[in-house]
Protein backbone atom coordinates (compact mmCIF):
# COMPACT_ATOMS: atom_id res chain seq x y z
CA UNK A 1 0.00 0.00 0.00
CA UNK A 2 1.16 3.54 -0.77
CA UNK A 3 -0.10 6.72 0.88
CA UNK A 4 0.41 10.34 -0.18
CA UNK A 5 -0.25 12.99 2.44
CA UNK A 6 -0.37 16.69 1.56
CA UNK A 7 0.15 19.54 4.01
CA UNK A 8 0.73 23.27 4.00
CA UNK A 9 -2.55 24.58 2.68
CA UNK A 10 -4.46 27.38 4.33
CA UNK A 11 -5.85 30.88 4.03
CA UNK A 12 -3.60 33.64 2.71
CA UNK A 13 -4.07 37.15 1.37
CA UNK A 14 -3.45 37.96 -2.25
CA UNK A 15 0.26 38.46 -2.85
CA UNK A 16 1.20 36.06 -0.09
CA UNK A 17 3.00 32.73 -0.20
CA UNK A 18 2.40 29.14 0.81
CA UNK A 19 4.51 26.01 0.55
CA UNK A 20 2.75 22.72 -0.01
CA UNK A 21 4.35 19.40 0.83
CA UNK A 22 3.37 15.89 -0.18
CA UNK A 23 5.05 12.90 1.45
CA UNK A 24 4.73 9.39 0.06
CA UNK A 25 5.02 6.38 2.33
CA UNK A 26 4.43 2.65 2.27
CA UNK A 27 5.70 -0.04 -0.04
CA UNK A 28 7.89 2.03 -2.38
CA UNK A 29 10.80 0.86 -4.53
CA UNK A 30 11.15 4.08 -6.53
CA UNK A 31 9.05 7.10 -7.47
CA UNK A 32 9.22 8.39 -11.02
CA UNK A 33 7.35 11.57 -11.89
CA UNK A 34 5.47 13.54 -9.24
CA UNK A 35 3.02 16.35 -9.74
CA UNK A 36 0.52 18.82 -8.39
CA UNK A 37 -3.05 19.30 -9.61
CA UNK A 38 -5.78 21.61 -8.41
CA UNK A 39 -9.55 21.73 -8.55
CA UNK A 40 -11.52 24.91 -8.00
CA UNK A 41 -15.24 24.82 -7.12
CA UNK A 42 -17.33 23.97 -10.17
CA UNK A 43 -14.28 23.32 -12.33
CA UNK A 44 -12.42 20.27 -13.53
CA UNK A 45 -9.17 19.18 -11.94
CA UNK A 46 -6.23 20.70 -13.80
CA UNK A 47 -2.52 20.01 -13.94
CA UNK A 48 -0.40 22.62 -12.21
CA UNK A 49 3.16 21.30 -12.36
CA UNK A 50 5.15 18.11 -12.71
CA UNK A 51 8.71 17.08 -11.92
CA UNK A 52 10.77 14.10 -13.06
CA UNK A 53 12.79 11.99 -10.68
CA UNK A 54 16.03 13.66 -11.76
CA UNK A 55 14.45 17.10 -11.90
CA UNK A 56 15.48 17.29 -15.54
CA UNK A 57 12.22 18.20 -17.20
CA UNK A 58 9.55 20.11 -15.36
CA UNK A 59 6.18 21.33 -16.58
CA UNK A 60 4.33 24.39 -15.38
CA UNK A 61 0.87 25.54 -16.32
CA UNK A 62 1.04 28.94 -18.03
CA UNK A 63 -1.02 30.71 -15.37
CA UNK A 64 1.49 29.91 -12.60
CA UNK A 65 4.79 30.28 -14.44
CA UNK A 66 7.15 32.56 -12.58
CA UNK A 67 5.11 32.32 -9.39
CA UNK A 68 5.15 28.63 -8.42
CA UNK A 69 8.14 26.30 -8.15
CA UNK A 70 7.98 22.53 -7.91
CA UNK A 71 10.80 20.59 -6.26
CA UNK A 72 11.36 17.21 -4.67
CA UNK A 73 13.48 15.34 -2.13
CA UNK A 74 13.95 11.78 -3.33
CA UNK A 75 15.45 10.66 -0.02
CA UNK A 76 12.22 11.69 1.71
CA UNK A 77 9.86 10.69 -1.13
CA UNK A 78 8.46 14.20 -0.90
CA UNK A 79 7.40 16.77 -3.47
CA UNK A 80 6.93 20.47 -2.74
CA UNK A 81 5.11 23.34 -4.37
CA UNK A 82 6.32 26.81 -3.43
CA UNK A 83 3.58 29.28 -4.30
CA UNK A 84 4.40 32.98 -4.37
CA UNK A 85 2.41 36.04 -5.44
CA UNK A 86 -0.80 34.14 -4.87
CA UNK A 87 -3.99 35.36 -6.53
CA UNK A 88 -7.65 34.74 -5.65
CA UNK A 89 -7.93 32.60 -8.79
CA UNK A 90 -5.39 30.20 -7.28
CA UNK A 91 -8.03 29.19 -4.73
CA UNK A 92 -8.61 25.46 -5.05
CA UNK A 93 -8.03 22.08 -3.48
CA UNK A 94 -4.49 21.04 -4.38
CA UNK A 95 -3.71 17.38 -4.95
CA UNK A 96 -0.38 15.67 -5.41
CA UNK A 97 0.23 12.52 -7.35
CA UNK A 98 3.13 10.17 -7.88
CA UNK A 99 4.06 7.37 -10.27
CA UNK A 100 5.26 4.71 -7.84
CA UNK A 101 7.14 1.52 -8.58
CA UNK A 102 6.52 -0.84 -5.68
CA UNK A 103 9.03 -3.54 -6.65
CA UNK A 104 11.89 -3.98 -9.08
CA UNK A 105 10.99 -4.86 -12.68
CA UNK A 106 7.35 -3.86 -12.23
CA UNK A 107 5.41 -1.07 -13.87
CA UNK A 108 4.50 2.10 -11.99
CA UNK A 109 1.06 2.91 -10.67
CA UNK A 110 -0.27 6.40 -10.03
CA UNK A 111 -1.30 7.34 -6.51
CA UNK A 112 -3.10 10.46 -5.27
CA UNK A 113 -3.18 12.40 -2.05
CA UNK A 114 -6.38 13.45 -0.31
CA UNK A 115 -5.97 17.14 -1.16
CA UNK A 116 -5.26 20.31 0.77
CA UNK A 117 -7.33 23.48 0.57
CA UNK A 118 -5.69 26.72 -0.52
CA UNK A 119 -7.79 29.86 -0.19
CA UNK A 120 -6.52 33.25 -1.38
CA UNK A 121 -8.48 36.28 -0.24
CA UNK A 122 -8.54 39.53 -2.19
Tens-digit pLDDT string for the chain (122 aa): 999 999 999 999 999 999 999 999 999 999 999 999 999 999 999 999 999 999 866 888 899 999 999 999 999 999 999 999 999 999 999 999 999 999 888 899 999 999 999 999 99
Task: Give CA–CA dist 2/29, Å, rounded.
Answer: 11
Q: Is residue 1 exposed (0-12), middle (13-18) or buried (19+ Cβ within 10 Å)?
A: exposed
Amino acid sequence: QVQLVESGGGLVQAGGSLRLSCAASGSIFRINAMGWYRQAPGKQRELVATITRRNSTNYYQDSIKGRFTISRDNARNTVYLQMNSLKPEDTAVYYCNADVIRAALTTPNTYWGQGTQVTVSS
